[in-house]
Amino acid sequence: MNDLTERQRFLLSLVIHEYVRSAMPVGSKHVVDEFNLDMSSATVRNDMAVLTDMGYLRQPHLSAGRVPTEDGYRLFVSNIVQETDLPDSTRRTISHQFYQMRQDVEGWTRLAASVLAHQSRAASLVTAPHPEESRFKHIELIAARGRQVLMVLVLMGGEILQRFITLDEPVTQEQLSSAADHFNNLYTGRNIEEMSSDHTPLNTLEQDFRKSVLDEMESAESMISGDVVLDGLTNVLAEPEFSAPGEARRALRVLEEKPLLNEILSKTVLHSHSQGGVQVLIGGEGIYDALSQVSIVLARYGTPGLATGTLGVLGPMRMPYGRTISIVRFLSSLLSDMVNDTIVE
C-alpha cells in the first residue's frame, strides 16, 4: 500500500468500482470518460500498467482492459473502501420488521437472511443463536406411547432440544412431571460440569433422565453453529461469473455442505471473540478451493458466553464491498440487541 501513489490508489478504486458495476474489463479511456478525470488516458494507462505489474490488476486479453485481482480486492477492502451507510429510512424499516417478530427467534433468523440477500443482491446465510456453553434452563417430560417419553429440553440462550426416550418399563405422567419439576428446581442455570458433580440423591428414573439430559447438552455444546438459514441463491446464479453450471455449483458448495461451512466459521468469525467486527474472505484466501471465485463477508452477533450466531453474504469477488459490509455490520448489531433483549435472561 505504501508503494502506491495517491493517484494510483484513486485509480484502483475507480477500476474496481466500474468493474463491480459492469462486470467488463475496464480500459484507461473509459475511466477518463466515465469519471470525467482531469488527466489523459495515457497517464491513466501508465498507472494501470504499474498496478498490473504490482499484482493489483490483470489483463484478461491483450486487447482488453483491466480487471482487479484478489490482491487488488484485498487492498481495496482493507485500505481504500469506505463504508456506505444505509439510508435512515432503510434502517428504520428493517428495525421495525424485526421488532414485530422479536419473540420469534426462528422468524427473525429467516428475516435476517431475506434482508441480507435483498440488500446485498447476493446469497446470504444466518445461523440461529447457539449457546457457547450448554446451561440447563427447563425440561418437560411427556408420556407418549407405551414406554416412550418425549423429552423437551430448553437451554439457556433459547435452544430447544427434543428427543424420544424408551424406558425399561412404562411410567405415569405424574411420575414424569415430578421428575421434571425436581430437575427444574435443581439444575436451572447449571452447566454440564456443575450438573455432573452434583450429588443430590436421585431415584432410578431421574438418574436415567439426567444421563439423557447430559448427553443432549454435550451434543449441543460440540456443535459449532446452530441451524443455518439460506436465502438469495438465485442472486449468485444470475451473476456472469457463475453462468457455467460447474462454477455455480462450486460457488454454492460452501453454503450447501455444513461440514465445510462449519470449518470456515470455526477458523474465521467463530475464532474471534469480538461481536460486530466484520471479516471479509476474498477468493478463499488461498485456503479454500471452493471459494476461489467468491468473497464472503461475515460477522458474529449475540451475547458472548451465552448465545451467538453468525451472519454473512456470499457473492462474486466483484461485489459492492462498501454496501455489503454496511448491511452485515448493521444486522449484526441489530441481531445482537435481539438476542440480548429476547433470549438472554
Please give the domain boundaries of the chain with CATH numbers for all domains. 6-80 (1.10.10.10), 88-129+226-342 (3.30.450.40), 136-222 (3.30.390)
The amino acid at 183? F
Question: What confidence tens digit (pLDDT) does each residue in 293-327 have?
Answer: 889 999 988 887 677 888 999 999 999 998 999 99
Per-residue pLDDT band at 274 (split at 50, 70, 90): very low
Average pLDDT along the chain: 86
**Is the separation of the CB atoms in 296 and 314 below 8 Å?**
yes
**Is the separation of the CB atoms in 284 and 291 below 8 Å?**
yes
Q: Provide the angle, in degrees to the nearest 10, between the axes of the packed helices 105-120 and 321-342.
A: 170
How much is the pTM? Answer: 0.76
Q: Which residue has the higher pLDDT, 80 or 156?
A: 156
Per-residue pLDDT band at 273 (split at 50, 70, 90): very low
Q: Give the C-alpha separation, 313 to 293, whole Å.
A: 14
Pairing of strands 278-282, 67-68: unpaired
Question: What confidence tens digit (pLDDT) does each residue in 250-264 have?
Answer: 777 777 777 777 777
Confidence check: pLDDT of 286 > 80: no
pLDDT > 70: percent of the chain:
90
